[in-house]
């Protein structure tokens, strides 16, 4: 089925560990983004990309890295996990040019202990 696929669905990390959250879309969308969702905070933008080779920071980028080598994939890397990064992470994609609804993945629930 067409859409946004996120892996893993659940992950527990120890403080200081690193990991990569995977995101892939098969809709040929140029625009991709990562959000984190915390209780009572809504969704906050971490990083986004407007095409292969182009990334930019969102509202809460510290502690995260991204790259966009292909149109389909947009991985999010946690460099050195901290308990403050315990959250649910969502990847989303959209057509370019504005005015399109976003398609979201089902999320990755990350716990850092």
Partner 1 sequence: SQQGEEDPQALSIQEGENATMNCSYKTSINNLQWYRQNSGRGLVHLILIRSNEREKHSGRLRVTLDTSKKSSSLLITASRAADTASYFCATEGSSGYSTLTFGKGTMLLVSP
Could you list the residues that contact partner 1 (CB under 8 A)?
Answer: 4, 31, 33, 35, 40-45, 48, 50, 56, 58-59, 90, 92, 94, 96-107
CB 88 to partner 1: min, Å? 9
Cis peptide leading into residue 8 (ω within 30°): yes
Q: Which is nearer to partner 1, 10 or 14 (CB)?
A: 10
72 by Cβ neighbours in 10 Å (0-12 / 13-18 / 19+) ranks as: middle
Q: Which is nearer to partner 1, 17 or 30 (CB)?
A: 30
Q: Is 43 helix (H, G, I), strand (E, B) or coil?
A: strand
């Amino acid at each position: 089925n067409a859409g946004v696929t996120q892996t893993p669905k659940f992950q527990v990390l120890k403080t200081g560990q690193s990991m990569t959250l995977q995101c892939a879309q098969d809709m040929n969308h140029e625009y991709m983004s990562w959000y984190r969702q915390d209780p009572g905070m809504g969704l906050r933008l971490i990083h986004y990309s407007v095409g292969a080779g182009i990334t930019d920071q969102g509202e809460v980028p510290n502690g995260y890295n991204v790259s966009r080598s292909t149109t389909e994939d947009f991985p999010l890397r946690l460099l050195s996990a901290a308990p403050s990064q315990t959250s649910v992470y969502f990847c989303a994609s959209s057509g370019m040019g504005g005015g399109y609804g976003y398609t979201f993945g089902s999320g990755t629930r990350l716990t850092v202990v």
